[in-house]
A and B are shown apart, each in its own frame.
Chain A
Amino acid sequence: MYEGPVQDLIDELGRLPGIGPKSAQRIAFHLLAAEAADVTRLQEVLQRVKEGVRFCEVCGNVSAEERCRICQDARRDPTVVCVVEEPKDVLAVERTREFRGRYHVLGGALDPLSGVGPDQLRIRELLARIGAEDVKEVILATDPNTEGEATATYLARMLRDFPGLTVTRLASGLPMGGDLEFADELTLGRALSGRRSL
């Protein structure tokens, strides 16, 4: 244990995902030794991200404005909507360059252990969007793990009743138990183009 603020800093850093106690310590001492200007810059970015970033009112992706760049882009096909769990999954799918439609970000997956049910996800918004826009296909691109699969099954059931709507799921081949964001571009691209109808 270190004294006062240093330990506080280590504790705070240690609460971030992917940072263990050792890394937290390393980062803390790096910051202590850094130039004041560098630390100030970091501090400002952190502040701005909390105050300035919001979520796209259409798709739920992180956005600098009311609507994100993808939702504003007239070249993107509005009839195909790719449903993902997190904003980072949008980036993963974008990297494949296979997809020219739009997105819907759920903000997670069904996860009763963490108290996440349908109401904690942007499912109502998705249904409203499909009712209002001219959507012809919904691609369920939730993670290939237990929670992602359950979410896909649940959504498929909810979407069954929209006439003329095709619902597809990413082809298998993604490493099971994994995270969409960790799939390499080629594998994810293949899963996307080989998607199957539910």
Chain B
Amino acid sequence: MFVRHLQVTDFRSWPHADLPLQRGPSVLVGPNGQGKTNLVEAVGYVATLGSHRVATDAPLVRHGASRAVVRTAVVNQDRELLVELEITPGKANRARLNRAPVPRPRDVLGILRTVLFAPEDLALVRGDPGERRRFLDELLVLRAPRFAGVRADYDRVLKQRSALLKTAGSARRAGSGGDIRTLDVWDGHLARHGAQLLAARLDLVADLAPHVAAAYAGVAPESRPVRVTYRSTLGGSLPEGYGEPGGPRASVEELEAALLAELYEVRQQELERGVCLVGPHRDELELVLGDILARGYASHGESWSFALALRLGSFELLKGDGGEPVLVLDDVFAELDHRRRRRLAEVAATAEQVLVTAAVAEDVPDELDGARYEVRDGEVSRVR
């Protein structure tokens, strides 16, 4: 697939930008702070309904404006779809598909699929487990958009159940019992939605792991091999082989039963602490280098290679699913040494479309010498 046209209004620094695009590589070049990343961030937003730089929508709206609009014409197997998103912080965002409003923005997920690699990705390796869970869930939604709903339902149940534990917990500590008549109900719903999310993540990791290992070996052949594995709060109650390449597909029913049993086990502890201790919200995607966790241990170069391998692995996985994703490389070539640069360029050159940003054109390998745009003084113009 590819983005044939990008248009933004009041998005980040852009009052308006209009950018016709095409298959193959497109490189946005210009000095820092000119708005290059802002443009590819808009493309990523259409694919994920989120930004790779900020957790909330407010910074995406141009200072002084009340809402931003992003429009993309996406071509997938010769069919073109127009996706429009209106981003209004503090209110419900709105989406239109081929000019017709859809009930919820998440109904347009899956139309554009992107894999975006950016300097922020170092946090995938060095940051909290939450960064890696987000990475997994985002990839999950790209593969199967219905998981956006599963994830939202799970988050909501989790919030409600946590609120109940918190109130009941503090009532108990104050010696007044605490009303937990509805806790069984919330347990049941948490286990039901949690099992769906967990099963999907386990299958995802089983499918993704070989791609990541191969991608890492490609970018850093001299380094020790890497592994990615899923660690669940279910611990030993997780059925054998789940989440492992070649292992059995995860059964939602089995996981639901296991989650329920585990919730029952930890109930006292949960009430004492007033927090929800079991479920995919506390799981971890472990990144293993050699036989040690990469987080807090891998060198700067190894961390970069690992982050790159996670993105390249995602790209290969999505490609294998059909509907090849658009690859977005935001300001990353300057950070990579010669060999990793080459390796990235080799893979990128096979993408149906790749969007690249760079401060200077010399940083971009020759393989990606396609269309070039200059971004400067609030203008973007094609120069080649």
Contacts and interface: CB of A to CB of B under 8 A. Distances in A.
A118 B181 CA distance: 8
A164 interface: no
A149 interface: yes
Interface in B139-189: 149, 152-153, 156-157, 159-161, 163-164, 167, 179, 181-182, 184-186, 188-189
B167 A115 contact: yes
B185 A110 contact: yes
How many of chain A's residues touch chain B, expressed as a range?
20 to 34
Contact of B159 (A113, A115, A149, A175): A113
Q: Which 6 A-B pairs have the closest CB atoms?
A: A112-B164, A112-B163, A146-B156, A113-B163, A154-B185, A153-B185
A154 B149 CA distance: 23
B246 interface: no
Nearest to B180: A117
A153 B163 contact: no
Interface of A is mostly: helix
B163 A146 contact: no
Contacts of B179: 117-119
How many of chain B's residues touch chain A, expressed as a range?
20 to 34
Given A177-B149, A177-B152, A177-B153, A147 B160 contact: yes
Contact of B160 (A111, A119, A177): A111
B160 A146 contact: yes
Interface in B273-301: none
Contacts of A149: 189
A175 B186 CA distance: 21
11 contacts: A110-B160, A117-B179, A117-B182, A118-B182, A146-B153, A147-B160, A149-B189, A153-B185, A153-B188, A157-B184, A177-B104
A146 B157 contact: yes
Interface string A147-187: 10110011001000000000000000001110000000000
Interface string A88-116: 00000000000000000000001111010
Interface string A6-33: 0000000000000010000000000000
A184 B91 CA distance: 23
Given A112-B164, A146-B160, A176-B149, A154 B189 contact: no
A15 to B, nearest CB: 15
A145 B167 CA distance: 22
Contacts of B64: none
A110 B159 contact: no
B153 A150 contact: no
B153 A110 contact: no
Contacts of A111: 160
B337 to A, nearest CB: 47
Contacts of A112: 160-161, 163-164, 167, 182, 186
Contact of B186 (A115, A119, A150, A157): A150
B163 A150 contact: no
Contacts of A176: 149, 153
A106 B104 CA distance: 28
Nearest to A155: B185
B103 interface: yes
**Among A113, A147, A176: residue with most chain B CB under 10 A:** A113
Nearest to B90: A20
A79 to B, nearest CB: 27
A177 B104 CA distance: 10
A116 to B, nearest CB: 10
A69 to B, nearest CB: 33
**Among B104, B153, B160, B163: residue with most chain A CB under 10 A:** B160
Contacts of B189: 146, 149-150, 153
B90 to A, nearest CB: 8
A7 B160 CA distance: 36
Nearest to B179: A117
A175 B149 CA distance: 11
B152 A150 contact: no
Given A118-B182, A176-B149, A177-B153, A150 B160 contact: yes
B182 A154 contact: yes
Interface string A126-145: 00000000000000000001
Nearest to B104: A177
A20 B164 contact: no
Given A113-B163, A117-B179, A147-B160, 12 more contacts: A110-B160, A112-B163, A112-B164, A118-B179, A146-B157, A146-B160, A150-B186, A153-B189, A157-B184, A157-B185, A175-B103, A177-B149
Contacts of B91: 20
